[in-house]
Amino acid sequence: MAAQTEVGLLNKQQAIVELERLAKAMAQADIAYHRNDAPEISDAEYDALKKRNLEIETLFPTLKRTDSPSDKVGAPVSSGFSKVKHAVAMMSLGNAFTDDDVIEFDTRIRKFLGVADTQVLEYTAEPKIDGLSLSLRYEEGKLVQAATRGDGEVGENVTPNALTLRDIPATITGAPDVFEVRGEVYMSHADFAALNENQLAIDAKPFANPRNAAAGSLRQLDSEITKSRPLRFFAYALGEVSEHFSDTQAGIIQRLSSLGFSTNPLTQRCAAPSELMEHYSKIEQDRATLGYDIDGVVYKVNDLALQARLGFRTNTPRWAIAHKFPAELAQTIVEDIEIQVGRTGALSPVARLKPVTVGGVVVSNATLHNEDYIAGRDSFGKTIREGRDIRIGDWVTVYRAGDVIPKIKDVDVGRREDNSQPYVFPSICPECGSDAIREEGEAVARCTGGLICPAQAVEKLKHFVSKAAFDIDGLGAKQIEAFYLDGWVTAPADIFTLNERIGSGNIQQLKNFEGWGEKSAQKLFDAISTKQQISLNRLIFALGIRHVGESTAMTLARHYSSWSAFNDAMENARDHSGSDWETLNAIDGVGGVMAATLVDYFHEAKARAALLNLVRHLIITDVEAPTVEGSMVAGKIVVFTGTLEKVTRVEAKAKAESMGAKVSGSVSAKTDIVVAGPGAGSKRKKAEELGVKVLSEDEWLELIG
């Protein structure tokens, strides 16, 4: 080691250089020691570096680096919890906010199943606990794994922590060999208050609400801490089970209770939507006396065989819904109205509010949707808020519903200043100055600037790296904004050349950015390179094409399977005619507007160039229609026509898709099977002409077992 200047003699500039050198040396030593198991310097040398670093920081506190080695603990940083793939995905629930939503839920289910209004359809209603969900896996009666929900597919293994809860038995008798119980971990109001009092006493930060306290307490690396926190658990559902357990949801709850689990005493069977709503009102009335937080009532179809027929949408079951309680309200002032420009160029007005607390959260802005909403009209031209418009300076009532962005409920025109003026919606884009045009029949105005509009470009990039798209660790909205401003990333392809341009030798450039050190930079490049392999559905979603959401992207990916097939089809369909165009339009869930947007996107010169530039860097993996063991129809293109008598059309389609078939609306040479019920006409005829297999409904049902 070269002779060192004594710390006390360093000037500010030298101190900066020295802190950087030390951080680098220690990061390198950390990698050698922890990652490669091959130490490059002795422990004593390491300690000396650490001591010198700390001395300089003490002398120049303002120079302390954001990645300072003093902030790192000596032991290998725990990677946290191990990951657990859920045997059965942990879904979320759709929401109902009004009585009409509840009636619609019942109607939708009846339609799907083909159950007449005169027939009874039973539900269960139970409180929606405001905690965090947990899946407990028992094997031969022994708790072998407890996992948090995570993203629904993969959660965190918190088994030792779960075992500290009184409500979670370590062993059970009389359950199937493989038995997964799901429920909610929560903290009571009394325990929450006591915990926060204690937090204050020991100078620790109090928790914002019982749910945060429960989550923070369960996700402790040291299970002794979890043990000291009074967490509780309500069981309400099953995951994987190796044997038949019950015929009904009510039966599940009953048997769970007799196995020793805590179940919610307010769970009740209801025979009609009116009874659901009655029970809802009762629970709402009791809400304040329960002693724990709930945020609504969950309704589930009681019959499990019907649940199985109803199945799931992408993330939510068709057979359940959460009826949320109305949100808390608060009054505040609109200080300003700002316009945000989204990735598709939509101009979205946002109210900047004088900060106010609503339901324990400070709210400082609210969505204003669009020009009509501000003016007091809905998107059909009907008056809302009795026609009261929203102006800068107005007193408004705001509310939060669930975790969504706050909304404005009403305006107090009585408190309006005399000189107040109606808000004038801009006709040019505030970001790039291009015309903002509102097309006939459209609710939103859009910037016509396309990629020259920085807001659109940045929002497109943010979407590109978002969770359901490329999901690159360490590259979130904040980093994208910074990289865009610096000109490093202005198009998706730039992400994959970052390393080449500013990596390795030039890492200093990235380190000049606040918050980046060598380790985090390397981590970013690694994360980017792993995401060069991407599945077709994610890629399609990532492109951010208007109307193409996650589930449409999946439908398209399953239909075309490979990038080359998809790309070829989009090119061939460019004139909005021909067989590829017809096939695209026939895909269930793809309408004419969406088909046109898609094809035009692939044809538009700039978008196309950017796309080709991007795919050069990628390995795009094929998406197979879900292979279902023993399914005779996986990958087959199926058309339903005529009247179906055993199941409804919606159910037939959902079932076919769940077995890996692709359901199409029109017959072509590519069609594999036409299922023709009574009254089938031209489609049946066309199938016969083309030599496509035609099945009756019964034959079809037999085929899919």
Round the CA-based radius of gyration of the chain to a whole number and report it.
29
| Cα 593 from Cα 598, distance rounded (Å) | 9
Q: Which of 140-148, 314-322, 460-468, 664-672 is the region at the interface with ligand IVH (rule: CB under 6 A)?
A: 314-322
| Cα 676 from Cα 687, distance rounded (Å) | 10
Q: Which of 122-130, 362-370, 454-462, 468-476 is the region at the interface with ligand IVH (rule: CB under 6 A)?
A: 122-130
For position 343 contacting ligand IVH by CB under 6 A, the verdict is: no
Q: Which of 90-98, 324-332, 388-396, 535-543 is the region at the interface with ligand IVH (rule: CB under 6 A)?
A: 90-98
Written as one string, the DSSP assignment of 478-522 is HHHHHHHHTTS-SSHHHHTTHHHHHSGGGHHHHHTSTT--HHHHH
**Cβ contacts of residue 416 below 8 Å, gap of 6+?**
391, 393, 394, 395
Q: How far is CA 599 from CA 345, 489, 560, 595, 602, in A?
A: 19, 26, 14, 6, 5
CB of 318 to ligand IVH, least distance (A): 10
Measured from each CB, the residue nearest to ligand IVH is 133
Q: Residues 287-303, buried b or exposed e (16+ Cβ, 10 A)?
A: eeebebbbbbbbbbbbb
CB of 234 to ligand IVH, least distance (A): 7
Lookup: tokens for 306: 């019907």
Residue 268 DSSP label: E
Contact in structure between 406 and 367 (CB atoms under 8 Å): yes
Among 19, 125, 129, 432, which residue sits at the site for ligand IVH (rule: CB under 6 A)? Answer: 129
Neighbours of 443 (CB within 10 A): 16
For position 276 contacting ligand IVH by CB under 6 A, the verdict is: no
403 or 514: CB nearest ligand IVH: 403
Among 7, 23, 93, 540, which residue sits at the site for ligand IVH (rule: CB under 6 A)? Answer: 93
Q: Which of 86-94, 114-122, 671-679, 694-702 is the region at the interface with ligand IVH (rule: CB under 6 A)?
A: 86-94
CB of 256 to ligand IVH, least distance (A): 12
236 or 484: CB nearest ligand IVH: 236
84 phi/psi in degrees, rounded to 5:
-130, 125
For position 215 contacting ligand IVH by CB under 6 A, the verdict is: no
128 or 391: CB nearest ligand IVH: 128
Contact in structure between 176 and 245 (CB atoms under 8 Å): yes
For position 322 contacting ligand IVH by CB under 6 A, the verdict is: yes
Q: Which of 91-99, 418-426, 444-452, 489-497 is the region at the interface with ligand IVH (rule: CB under 6 A)?
A: 91-99
For position 320 contacting ligand IVH by CB under 6 A, the verdict is: yes
Contact in structure between 690 and 668 (CB atoms under 8 Å): yes
CB of 301 to ligand IVH, least distance (A): 11
Q: Is 205 a catalytic residue?
A: no
Looking only at the bridges linking them, the beta strands covering 619-621 and 533-535 are: parallel
Looking only at the bridges linking them, the beta strands covering 123-129 and 232-241 are: unpaired
| Cα 466 from Cα 472, distance rounded (Å) | 8
Subset of 432-471 contacting ligand IVH (CB under 6 A): none
For position 317 contacting ligand IVH by CB under 6 A, the verdict is: yes
Lookup: tokens for 506: 């030039």
**Cβ contacts of residue 7 below 8 Å, gap of 6+?**
52, 55, 56, 59
56 or 320: CB nearest ligand IVH: 320
Kindly state the number of chain residues that form the binding site for ligand IVH, as judged by CB under 6 A. 15
Contact in structure between 653 and 700 (CB atoms under 8 Å): no
Lookup: tokens for 365: 């802005």
For position 91 contacting ligand IVH by CB under 6 A, the verdict is: yes
Among 236, 280, 541, 566, which residue sits at the site for ligand IVH (rule: CB under 6 A)? Answer: 236
For position 625 contacting ligand IVH by CB under 6 A, the verdict is: no
CB of 88 to ligand IVH, least distance (A): 9
Q: How far is CA 634 from CA 42, 491, 553, 648, in A?
A: 60, 37, 19, 21
Q: Which of 128-136, 493-501, 520-528, 644-652 is the region at the interface with ligand IVH (rule: CB under 6 A)?
A: 128-136
For position 126 contacting ligand IVH by CB under 6 A, the verdict is: yes
CB of 89 to ligand IVH, least distance (A): 9
14 or 281: CB nearest ligand IVH: 281
Q: Which of 128, 324, 460, 531 is catalytic?
A: 128
Read off the amino acid at residue 447.
C
Q: How far is CA 659 from CA 362, 557, 648, 653, 705, in A?
A: 47, 16, 17, 10, 10
182 or 636: CB nearest ligand IVH: 182
| Cα 144 from Cα 162, distance rounded (Å) | 11
| Cα 651 from Cα 469, distance rounded (Å) | 29
CB of 299 to ligand IVH, least distance (A): 10
126 or 518: CB nearest ligand IVH: 126
264 or 555: CB nearest ligand IVH: 264
237 or 366: CB nearest ligand IVH: 237
Helix axes 454-464, 477-485, angle to 10 degrees: 140
Contact in structure between 266 and 299 (CB atoms under 8 Å): no
CB of 320 to ligand IVH, least distance (A): 5
For position 125 contacting ligand IVH by CB under 6 A, the verdict is: no
For position 394 contacting ligand IVH by CB under 6 A, the verdict is: no
Among 46, 49, 121, 128, which residue sits at the site for ligand IVH (rule: CB under 6 A)? Answer: 128
Binding mask 130-159 for ligand IVH (x = CB under 6 A): ---x---------------x----------
For position 184 contacting ligand IVH by CB under 6 A, the verdict is: yes
182 or 229: CB nearest ligand IVH: 182
133 or 196: CB nearest ligand IVH: 133
Measure the CA angle with vertex 123, ends 119 and 125; round to 5°: 150
Read off the amino acid at residue 663.
V
List of residues contacting ligand IVH (CB under 6 A)? 91-93, 126, 128-129, 133, 149, 184, 236-237, 298, 317, 320, 322
User: Catalytic site residues?
Assistant: 128
